[in-house]
Amino acid sequence: MNQPLRRLATVVIVMFVALMAGATWVQFAQAKDLNADPRNARTLYREFGNARGPIVVQGKAVAESVKVDDPFQYQRRYSDGELYSAVTGFYSIVNGSTELEYAENDNLTGRSDQLFFTRVRDLLTGRQPEGAAVETTLNRAAQKAAFEGLGDQEGAVVAIEPATGRILALVSTPGYDPNDLASHSSKKASSAYARLRDEDGNPLRSNATRETYPPGSTFKLVTAAAALESGEYDETSEIPAPVRLDLPQSTASIGNFGGGGCGANPITLAQALRVSCNTAFAQLGMDLGDDALREQAQRFGFDDADLTIPMGTATSHFPADANAPQTAQSAIGQFDVAATPLQMAMVSAAIANGGRLMTPYVVDRVRAADLSVVSETKPSLLSTAVSPGTASALKEMMLGVVESGTGTAAKISGVQVAGKTGTAQNAEGQAPHAWFTAFAPADKPQVAVAVIVEHGGSAGNEATGGRVAAPIARAVIEAVLNK
Amino acid sequence: MTTIEPHRVRAGRGSELGLLLLALMVGIGAYALVGLGVEGEVPADVVGYSTGLTALALLMHVVLRWRAPYADPVILPLTVGLNGVGLAMIYRLDLAYAAKPNHDSGFAGRQLAWTAISVALAAAVLILLRDHRTLRRYTYTAMVVGLGLVALPLVPGIGQQINGARIWAHIGPIGMQPAEFAKIALAVFFAGYLVTHRDTLALAGSKVLGLQLPRARDLGPIIIVWAASLAVLVFERDLGTSLLLFGMFVAMLYLATERLSWVVIGLLLFVGGAALAATAFSHVGARFEAWLHAFDPDVYGRSPGGSGQLVQGLFGMAGGGLFGTGLGQGRPDMVPYAESDFIVASLGEELGLTGLMALLMISLVLAERGLRTAIGVRDGFGKLLAGGLAFVVAFQTFVVVGGVTRLIPLTGLTTPFLAYGGSSLLANWVIVALLLRISNDARRPAPVVSALTPAGGIPVPAPQDDPTERFGRVR
């Protein structure tokens, strides 16, 4: 009976080898897929059970995980939740996560590939793994100035450091308190989500990055840039500026804001920008053609579907195919032209930086729990929007806007501010959006900013970009410049 | 040749003591780590716990020294190691359960009590059963007892259906899974029956496809056991026990007859029967469905009979990865029945693939030591009994762990020594006691063999007393 016993012993070994292979399949080969399965609540528990890294603004955590006595062990807390909601987003067991909480999840949980060695060390030393800290580029004072400037009005502010692309302020109003959504009580969290989802102004959606608006007259910067880049115009070139411009191929016509003239006819390019002359820019747009406008817009970042900061952004848009009257409308930022406030800040930032558009970003550094720097964002060139000559000509023209044009409300004593207003028609019967985009100081720009106040905010139909949006931009610039 | 000296054999009791201490360190260390991992401190009762576990292990060791001095020195430490790790894991789950409202806890205390009872029973077996061959006298008694135990859950008033399977019997306040004990009784019966009838069963019949089939008239016993297994499957809804008993029988049939045809016939019968049952009975079909389409949302969400528990177990093991979360750091309590049916998933999660591999190695070595015992022992009954018992421990581990890792369909068996459950623990400790008893016989030097030792020379191996049994010699 010994021979069959030996064979049986072999069979037993084969059975156990099969078990070991099965265990290896589950715990090694398939582990990643199993851990990623949405039904795997364990992944959630582990994520919530570990200390998630904080989101930091100038050395102070605005989102952090606090030890609590419940099955998840850590509760996400947001100090100044509403102020930073467009940046941090929220992190919730019930509602998922958004914005930085979503985009930087791998770093915040400590799971990213860059943190591999930290994980191995935690494993070997038995240390409780901790997520990495995400340090933002935000400037607390600028963020506050923007938030307070917008107040109860719906809108957004984006401020960028032109030389680097660092985002200094990113505010969307109405904001929301992420603490409500991060509650571990699924009833509380769901009802908070439902309430915010149905609220006017869609607080959960960031107006600054995920909403596009007609840019109105602020887009004249792009049209002017296209004109200067074509080589056929300079700031003294004269353009026809009638009170009303009849559009070809249609019965439509374009008038100026308030229905009057632009002070002269023809008018210089600089003068047209200073007073924001619609008829002149509409004519200029038709003369340049939609292709030239589109190309210029794209060099400023329009139609770039891949822009992440690292949160995703809505794509700003210039119409793909426009006839002459549509081109005339597009040249003054109407028709189907759509831009995020971030995009308009990028236009100013590019002009401020001698035409070089830097990639905007909000994550400065990622720091592991042991304070070692895991990654650091290096400023990078996104595109060359205009030549240095064009940039400097545009700057001079924008200085005129603030000095004695539509944007005088942005004046700061002792600082040269270059800006452009916009008052964008949107839906029929709705008050226009008030825009302002600017940078300062003109000789050595430190901040470029874009402001939108939806439907003119509290000023309603009386609102213009110069009156409603420019003071907010001024406050943000002052905050950055420490005035 | 004037003196007769017994050939000196290393009994191995010293090695056993050393290995026992190692096993105790593992078990007690795991217990302490659970406390550290869950509550940040060593459990308050660690001294009492260590003392108790050590006392139990030493009791068995002393009994072995006294009543079975030549018993295999590895079997007991392996068993103590598995039992200790299982206890630590159950204690860990207890701590998690205690934090949950409305969840039964206190499993660890009960398991420790069952361990004590099991060790006492195993010691009693070793003390009372001086020679395993005595059991052969009770061949048919064992059959009656075995079949009675298998059928017990079907008796109205005693049997109880829990979670769809009718495998529990309640007599007074005590509940047990009689199938666990039935496998010992049936092993005794099979060994006794087969050792008597092996020659008849091995007689050649017709040859089909190069396979020497047995004679048709000898198919009787296998058909009866097959029918009994299917009855278990159909009426008690217990795929695991059914597979276990039938697998043990086929293995022992093969050992006795050395005919591969029996294995082929057995496998065909079982697969055919199971396939038939799967189509005819929804609860068996559901098990296969849950195995094949575990991740299908419909199957996953179905309750009862869905794959939810299986998939949760897989999630746990995947979460543990290569090195595990560490004791007390995972969430094994999220899997239903994590302390019994799914203890392997719990261990895989917290000890990782590495820890699970180690535990599987321990189980494998335990089974192989049992088979080694079967090879070593001289009598046919002992060979069959040891071979059958060793195989059934290995096969049960295979069926459970294979089910949890989705290698085969999931069944309701418990992992020997690791899982929570008094019946399983008692039965498996008795198996260990029987294997130890038989191994004592296997490793004891042959009674009247002289060593021809020239003065100052090298000992010459004693002459083989039976050439056919030369593999049976003690190393």
Mutate to test the interface with A, among B405, B435, B464, B470 (most CBs of A within 10 A): B405
CB–CB of A157/A472 below 8 Å? yes
> Rounded to a whole number, what is the distance in Å from the CA of B397 to chain A's nearest CA?
9
> Rounded to a whole number, what is the distance in Å from the CA of A15 to chain B's nearest CA?
6
> Per mean pLDDT, which range of A105-114, A410-419, B183-192, B423-432 is the poorest?
A105-114
By three-state DSSP, how is residue A121 classified?
helix
Q: What is the DSSP letter of A229?
A: H
Asked if B407 lies within 8 A of A24 by C-beta distance, the reply is: no
Beta pairing partners, A420: A437
Given B254, B319, B321, which is nearest A4 (Cβ)?
B254
> Rounded to a whole number, what is the distance in Å from the CA of B403 to chain A's nearest CA?
10
**Given A85, A97, A112, A217, which residue is catalytic?**
A217
State the pLDDT at residue B389: 96
State the pLDDT at residue A19: 96
Positive or negative, the CA dihedral B33, B34, B36, B37 is positive
**Whether B234 contacts chain A with CB within 8 A:** no
Mean pLDDT within A135-147: 93
Given A20, A22, A34, which is nearest B318 (Cβ)?
A34
CB–CB of A133/A471 below 8 Å? no
Positive or negative, the CA dihedral B375, B378, B379, B382 is negative
> Rounded to a whole number, what is the distance in Å from the CA of B387 to chain A's nearest CA?
7
Residue A282 lies in a domain: yes
Mean pLDDT within B415-421: 93
pLDDT tens per residue, range B58-67: 999 999 999 9
Given A1, A28, A42, which is nearest B380 (Cβ)?
A1
State the pLDDT at residue B114: 94
CA distance B356 to B373: 26
Cβ-based neighbours of A219, under 8 Å, separated by 6 or more: A297, A330, A331, A332, A333, A337, A339, A422
By three-state DSSP, how is residue A85 classified?
helix
Tokens of B389: 């018992």
CA distance A108 to A101: 8
Q: Which residues of chain B make contact with A123, given a CB cutoff of 8 A? A: 323
Distances (CA, A) of A108 to A52, A105, A368, A376, B64: 5, 5, 9, 15, 57
By three-state DSSP, how is residue A238 classified?
strand
Percentage, residues of chain B above pLDDT 90: 46
The complex's ipTM works out to 0.89
State the pLDDT at residue A37: 82
Given A2, A20, A30, which is nearest B471 (Cβ)?
A2
Mutate to test the interface with B, among A19, A33, A73, A130 (most CBs of B within 10 A): A19
Given B258, B320, B357, which is nearest A4 (Cβ)?
B258
Positive or negative, the CA dihedral A126, B404, B262, B201 is positive
CATH number for the domain harbouring residue A278 = 3.40.710.10
- Residue B318 pLDDT class (50, 70, 90 cuts): very high
Mean pLDDT within B343-371: 96
Q: Treating both helix axes as pointing N-terminal to C-terminal, what angle do B139-151 and B178-202 enclose, rounded to 10 degrees?
A: 130
pLDDT tens per residue, range B214-260: 777 777 777 787 788 778 777 877 788 888 988 998 999 899 988 88
Q: How many CB pairs under 8 A join A and B?
A: 134
Q: Which residues of chain A make contact with B251, given a CB cutoff of 8 A? A: 8
Q: Which residues of chain A make contact with B352, given a CB cutoff of 8 A? A: 27
State the pLDDT at residue B286: 82
By three-state DSSP, how is residue A41 classified?
helix
pLDDT surpasses 60 at B453: no
Q: Treating both helix axes as pointing N-terminal to C-terminal, what angle do B343-376 and B422-443 enclose, rounded to 10 degrees?
A: 30
> Rounded to a whole number, what is the distance in Å from the CA of B292 to chain A's nearest CA?
15
Tokens of A19: 């078990």
Given A5, A15, A16, which is nearest B255 (Cβ)?
A5
Residue A121 lies in a domain: no
- Residue A70 pLDDT class (50, 70, 90 cuts): confident
Asked if A9 lies within 8 A of B380 by C-beta distance, the reply is: no
Asked if B254 lies within 8 A of A8 by C-beta distance, the reply is: yes
pLDDT surpasses 70 at B3: no
CB–CB of B241/B234 below 8 Å? no
pLDDT tens per residue, range A269-286: 998 998 888 899 999 999
Residue A105 lies in a domain: no
Average pLDDT, rounded, for chain A: 88
State the pLDDT at residue B467: 43
Q: Which residue of B has its CA nearest to A124?
A: B323
Percentage, residues of chain A above pLDDT 70: 96
- A92 carries an active-site annotation: no
Q: Which residues of A159-192 are buried (b: 16+ CB within 10 A; e: fewer)?
A: bbbbbbbbbbbbbbbbbbbbbbbbbbeeeebeeb
> A358 is in which domain, residue-wise?
216-481
Q: What is the DSSP letter of A377?
A: P
State the pLDDT at residue B471: 44
Asked if B334 lies within 8 A of A41 by C-beta distance, the reply is: yes
CB–CB of B289/B299 below 8 Å? yes
Mutate to test the interface with B, among A20, A26, A123 (most CBs of B within 10 A): A26
Q: Which residues of chain B make contact with A49, given a CB cutoff of 8 A? A: 331
Q: Which residues of chain B make contact with A4, given a CB cutoff of 8 A? A: 254-255, 258
**End-to-end Cα distance, chain B:** 24
Percentage, residues of chain B above pLDDT 70: 88
By three-state DSSP, how is residue A239 classified?
strand
CB–CB of B57/B80 below 8 Å? yes
Tokens of B184: 């010992």
SS3 for chain B is: CCCCCCCCCCCCHHHHHHHHHHHHHHHHHHHHHHHHHHHCCCCCCHHHHHHHHHHHHHHHHHHHHHHCCCCCCCHHHHHHHHHHHHHHHHHHHHHHHHCCCCCCCCHHHHHHHHHHHHHHHHHHHHHHCCCHHHHHHHHHHHHHHHHHHHHHHHCCCCEEEECCEEEEEEECCEEECHHHHHHHHHHHHHHHHHHHHHHHHHCEEEEECCEEEECHHHHHHHHHHHHHHHHHHHHCCCHHHHHHHHHHHHHHHHHHHCCHHHHHHHHHHHHHHHHHHHHHCHHHHHHHHHHHCCCCHHHHHCCCCCCHHHHHHHHHHHHHCCCCCCCCCCCHHHCCCCCCCCHHHHHHHHHHHHHHHHHHHHHHHHHHHHHHHHHHCCCHHHHHHHHHHHHHHHHHHHHHHHHHCCCCCCCCCCCCCCCCCHHHHHHHHHHHHHHHHHHHHHHCCCCCCCCECCCCCCCECCCCCCHHHHHHCCC
Please state whether the peptide bond connecting residue A54 to the residue before it is cis, i.e. omega within 30 degrees of 0.
no
CB–CB of A214/A338 below 8 Å? yes
CA distance B468 to B361: 32
pLDDT tens per residue, range A333-353: 888 899 999 999 999 999 999
Q: Which residue of A has its CA nearest to B332?
A: A42
The residue with greater pLDDT, B268 or B474, is B268
pLDDT tens per residue, range B438-451: 999 998 887 654 55
pLDDT tens per residue, range A83-104: 999 999 998 877 888 899 898 8
Q: Which residues of chain B make contact with A1, given a CB cutoff of 8 A? A: 255-256, 258, 374, 380, 383-384, 387
Beta pairing partners, A450: A158, A437
How many residues belong to chain B? 475
Mean pLDDT within B78-93: 95
CB–CB of B341/B414 below 8 Å? yes
pLDDT surpasses 90 at A458: no
Residue A78 lies in a domain: no
Cβ-based neighbours of B192, under 8 Å, separated by 6 or more: B135, B136, B138, B139, B140, B142, B381
- Residue A392 pLDDT class (50, 70, 90 cuts): very high
Mutate to test the interface with B, among A3, A12, A67 (most CBs of B within 10 A): A12
> Rounded to a whole number, what is the distance in Å from the CA of A77 to chain B's nearest CA?
24
Q: Which residue of A has its CA nearest to B356?
A: A23
Average pLDDT, rounded, for chain B: 85
CA distance A188 to A180: 7
**Whether B352 contacts chain A with CB within 8 A:** yes
Q: Which residues of A lie closer than 8 Å to B, measured between beta carbons?
A: 1-6, 8-9, 12-13, 15-16, 18-20, 22-28, 30-31, 33-35, 37, 39-43, 45-46, 49, 71, 123, 126
Residue A362 lies in a domain: yes
State the pLDDT at residue B396: 95
Residue A317 lies in a domain: yes
Q: Which residue of B has its CA nearest to A33?
A: B318
pLDDT surpasses 90 at B325: no
Number of domains in chain A: 1
Residue A463 lies in a domain: yes
Asked if B398 lies within 8 A of A45 by C-beta distance, the reply is: no
Cβ-based neighbours of A113, under 8 Å, separated by 6 or more: A106
pLDDT tens per residue, range A103-112: 888 888 877 7
Asked if A28 lies within 8 A of B256 by C-beta distance, the reply is: no
State the pLDDT at residue B452: 53
Residue A259 lies in a domain: yes
Asked if B364 lies within 8 A of A16 by C-beta distance, the reply is: yes
Mean pLDDT within A34-40: 82
Mean pLDDT within A180-188: 85
**Whether B30 contacts chain A with CB within 8 A:** no
Asked if B319 lies within 8 A of A4 by C-beta distance, the reply is: no
pLDDT tens per residue, range A16-28: 999 999 999 999 9
State the pLDDT at residue B470: 41
Mean pLDDT within B411-423: 89
Q: Which residues of chain A make contact with B368, given a CB cutoff of 8 A? A: 9, 12-13
Scan for tokens 């426009």, then name that residue: A322
